A and B are shown apart, each in its own frame.
Chain A
C-alpha cells in the first residue's frame, strides 16, 4: 500500500510533467482554479497518469466526485490499499 507521502511525491512528479512546471506544490486543498492551465484536458491527463502510475482505474462516479488534490490522493490511497 502506498503511504500518503509516497502518493503526494508521485502526484507531484505527475503535476510537474503535466504542467511543465517544477514549482507547483501540492496541498490537499489545491483545486484546478488555483493552477494556471488546469483545464478538463489536463484533468484527464492527471487522472490517466495516476491510473498508469498505480495500475488502477477510476470509475465515472469517482471522477465526478473529485474536487481537489486531497480527493485524488485519498482515492489513490483507497484503491491501492
Chain B
C-alpha cells in the first residue's frame, strides 16, 4: 500500500487549493493544512505547483530551517521532486530541490563550477537505480568475478559519498536498491553468483554496513517494496517508456520518506504518543462495561488486537517515545484497568502523563504538552473517535492525528507507516528506560550463562500468582479449558456457565495461576478445578497447564496450592485422574511423579491416583507463591 492512508481526506480540498492565491498572508498555513491530506500524485503535483507559483522562495519566517536538497540519480527523478517538496510542506519545512542531469552525478560532484555547486545543497539524496547499479553483472559470472563487481560498486558508492561530503559537508542519504530484477534460479537465487537479483540483495546489505561506517543515512525503499510489493513501487512498462524507476503513483510516499528524514535531521520527529482509552487501548467503555466487560487480552480476536496495539505502544516507549493518555472518563475508572486488569500490557508506570476527565481533548492535550514540557508539535494523538480526531485537528493543527478505523488491528501500521517517530539513532538515554525489560532474549542469555538448572530457576525469580476463578479471568479460563490438549489431565471442556457454577459451589474451587519472572509476565498458565466428594476426598476434576512453562517446577508448586485448598475444604485425600486422549500422553505419569499412589489403571491407559493429605509435606521449589 503506497497511499498515505494515515492522512485524512479533506472534502473541499480542490476549492481550497484554488482559493489559495486569494489570501497570500494565510497561504503558507493553508498550504501546510492542504499537504496534510491523503493526496495522490496528481494532487500532490497540483499543490506543489500552486505553492511554488505563489511563494517562489518560501515564506519569510518559519520555525523550521529551509532545506536545499540535491537529488543525484542515474534515471528520471523529476516526477519525485513534488512529492518531496510537499512532504516538507506537510511538516512546515520549505524544500528547494536540485536534480542533476541524467547520469551526470559524478561529474557534477567533482566539477566545482557545476550547477550542483552553484546550488550549494544543505542535504543530498543519492537515488541510483537498480539497472545502473547492476550494469555489467550477468549470470555468466563466476563467484570471484561477481565478488569483484560487488567490491567495485561498493567502491563507487563510497567514492560518491566522499565527494559529496568533501564538496558540501552536508548530510547524505542513500536510497537502497529496489529489488526489481526477476530471479533466474528461483528460491535458491543466492547460488547464482552473477544473478542481478542476488547482486541487489548483497549490495543492499553492503550499503547498510558502509553507511554505518561513513555516517550516511539510508532511505530504505527496499524495505518498503518488501512491505508493499515491488509492483507498487516499480512499473516495468513505465521504465521502458520514461526511465522512471519509482512509479509516479508511489511518489507521494517516496517523498514522505525523504521528508521525514529531513524533519528528523532538524529534530522535528514526534516525541510523544497520546492515546485515548475506550475503544483505542481496549474494546468497550470502561465506565459502562466494567473491568470484566472490556475486550482485552486472550480470548477474543478483538481483545487480542487491543493487546497487540498496546504491545506496539510499549515497544515504541522502549525505544524512547513518550506515552501519554488523554481520555474522557472519570479518573478512577480510567485507572482501574491499568491497576487491576491482568491483560493490560501497558502499566500506569509506562504512561508519563495521564489525563482523564470530561474536558475537551484539545485543552487536555495542551495540558499534557505543558506537563511534559515539550512542544505541541511533538505530539501524536490516536483516537478511534472521528469527532475527537477532527476536534483536535481543528484546534491544534500542529498535533499529528492519524486517521484510523474502529478496528485496532490497523493501529500499529497507521503509526508505523506515517513515520511520525522516525528515528536516526537510538541513544543510551532511549534504551535506559528499557533496561529492566529484555524479555525472552535476556531469559535465554541467562540460560546460556548458567550451567545448572537450579541456579537458572533461582535466577529467574519465578513468581506464581494464584487467584480463585473470577469474572475478569472468565474468558481466558474458558478459552484455556477448551483449547488445552497436551498438558491436560482430564480434557474436560466447560462453558462460561459451567465455570460460573464452580465459582458458586462451596464444595469446589477453581484456581487460575499466573507465572511471572524477572523478564516479564507469562500470563495465566494453569487452571485447576477441585471438587469435594462425599468421603472427604478432593477430586482434581481439571488440571491443565501451558506447555510453555514446563520445566520450571510449576507442577509441584501447584500441588502445594491444591493440597492447601483441599485441606481448607476439610479433605483428607487427593484423588487425581488421568484420562488418556490422542494428545495428552505427556502427562500419563503426572500424578506418580508427584508422589501419588496408583489406585487403578485401566486398559485404555488411564489411571486414578491417591495422595494422603495427612502425611503430605509441601515440596520446596524456587517459585515464590502469592495470592493475586
Q: Which residues of A contact B (CB under 8 A)?
A: 14, 17-18, 20, 22, 40-41, 44-45, 48-49, 52, 59-60, 63
Distance between B39 CB and nearest chain A CB, rounded to angstroms: 10
Distance between B18 CB and nearest chain A CB, rounded to angstroms: 8
Give the CA-CA distance A9 to B40 in the complex, in Å: 19
Does residue B443 face the partner (Cβ distance < 8 Å to A)?
A: no
Q: Do residues B46 and A14 form an inter-chain contact, with CB atoms below 8 A?
A: no
Q: Do residues B41 and A45 form an inter-chain contact, with CB atoms below 8 A?
A: yes
* Contact A41 to B50, CB < 8 A, known contacts A18-B45, A48-B248, A49-B40: no
Contact of B41 among A22, A48, A63 (CB under 8 A): A48
Does residue B264 face the partner (Cβ distance < 8 Å to A)?
A: no
Q: Do residues A41 and B43 form an inter-chain contact, with CB atoms below 8 A?
A: no
Task: Specify the main secondary structure of chain B where it touches its partner.
Answer: helix
Q: Do residues A20 and B46 form an inter-chain contact, with CB atoms below 8 A?
A: yes
Task: Specify the main secondary structure of chain A where it touches its partner.
Answer: helix
The 6 A-B pairs with the shortest beta carbon distances in the complex, nearest first, are A17-B42, A49-B42, A60-B237, A17-B46, A20-B46, A48-B248
Does residue B187 face the partner (Cβ distance < 8 Å to A)?
A: no
Q: Which residues of B contact A (CB under 8 A)?
A: 14, 18, 40-43, 45-46, 49-50, 78-79, 237-238, 240-242, 244, 247-249
Distance between B429 CB and nearest chain A CB, rounded to angstroms: 44
Q: Do residues A17 and B43 form an inter-chain contact, with CB atoms below 8 A?
A: yes
Q: Which residues of B sit under 8 angstroms from A52, Cβ to Cβ?
A: 40, 249
Q: Do residues A44 and B42 form an inter-chain contact, with CB atoms below 8 A?
A: no
Q: Which residues of A sit under 8 angstroms from B50, Cβ to Cβ?
A: 20
* Contact A18 to B42, CB < 8 A, known contacts A41-B79, A44-B248: yes
Distance between A77 CB and nearest chain B CB, rounded to angstroms: 21
Give the CA-CA distance A20 to B42 in the complex, in Å: 10
Give the CA-CA distance A45 to B82 in the complex, in Å: 13
Beyond the given A48-B41, A63-B237, please list 15 additional residue pairs across the A-B interface where CB-CB is below 8 A.
A18-B45, A18-B46, A22-B18, A40-B242, A41-B78, A41-B242, A44-B238, A44-B241, A44-B242, A45-B41, A45-B42, A45-B248, A48-B247, A48-B248, A49-B42
> What are 30 residue pairs bridging A and B, where the CB atoms are less than 8 Å apart in the complex?
A14-B42, A17-B14, A17-B42, A18-B42, A18-B46, A20-B46, A20-B49, A40-B242, A41-B78, A44-B79, A44-B238, A44-B241, A44-B242, A44-B244, A44-B248, A45-B41, A45-B42, A45-B45, A48-B41, A48-B248, A49-B40, A49-B41, A49-B42, A52-B40, A52-B249, A60-B237, A60-B240, A60-B241, A63-B237, A63-B241
Distance between B529 CB and nearest chain A CB, rounded to angstroms: 56
Distance between B254 CB and nearest chain A CB, rounded to angstroms: 14
Give the CA-CA distance A22 to B50 in the complex, in Å: 14
Q: Which residues of B sit under 8 angstroms from A60, Cβ to Cβ?
A: 237, 240-241
Q: Which residues of A sit under 8 angstroms from B40, Cβ to Cβ?
A: 49, 52
Distance between B34 CB and nearest chain A CB, rounded to angstroms: 13
Distance between A15 CB and nearest chain B CB, rounded to angstroms: 10
Give the CA-CA distance A49 to B18 in the complex, in Å: 20
Closest residue on chain A to residue B235 by CB atoms: A48
Closest residue on chain A to residue B3 by CB atoms: A52
Q: Which residues of B sit under 8 angstroms from A20, Cβ to Cβ?
A: 46, 49-50
Give the CA-CA distance A59 to B238 in the complex, in Å: 10
Distance between B241 CB and nearest chain A CB, rounded to angstroms: 7
Closest residue on chain A to residue B76 by CB atoms: A41
Closest residue on chain A to residue B247 by CB atoms: A48
Q: Which residues of B sit under 8 angstroms from A17, Cβ to Cβ?
A: 14, 42-43, 46
Give the CA-CA distance A63 to B237 in the complex, in Å: 10
Distance between B205 CB and nearest chain A CB, rounded to angstroms: 32
Give the CA-CA distance A14 to B45 in the complex, in Å: 12
Distance between A40 CB and nearest chain B CB, rounded to angstroms: 7
Distance between A59 CB and nearest chain B CB, rounded to angstroms: 7
Closest residue on chain A to residue B53 by CB atoms: A20
Give the CA-CA distance A48 to B250 in the complex, in Å: 11
Give the CA-CA distance A40 to B248 in the complex, in Å: 13
Give the CA-CA distance A63 to B50 in the complex, in Å: 29
Distance between A50 CB and nearest chain B CB, rounded to angstroms: 10
Closest residue on chain A to residue B50 by CB atoms: A20
Give the CA-CA distance A48 to B40 in the complex, in Å: 10
Give the CA-CA distance A63 to B240 in the complex, in Å: 12
Distance between A53 CB and nearest chain B CB, rounded to angstroms: 10
Give the CA-CA distance A59 to B240 in the complex, in Å: 12
Distance between A52 CB and nearest chain B CB, rounded to angstroms: 6
Closest residue on chain A to residue B40 by CB atoms: A52
Q: Which residues of A sit under 8 angstroms from B241, Cβ to Cβ?
A: 44, 60, 63
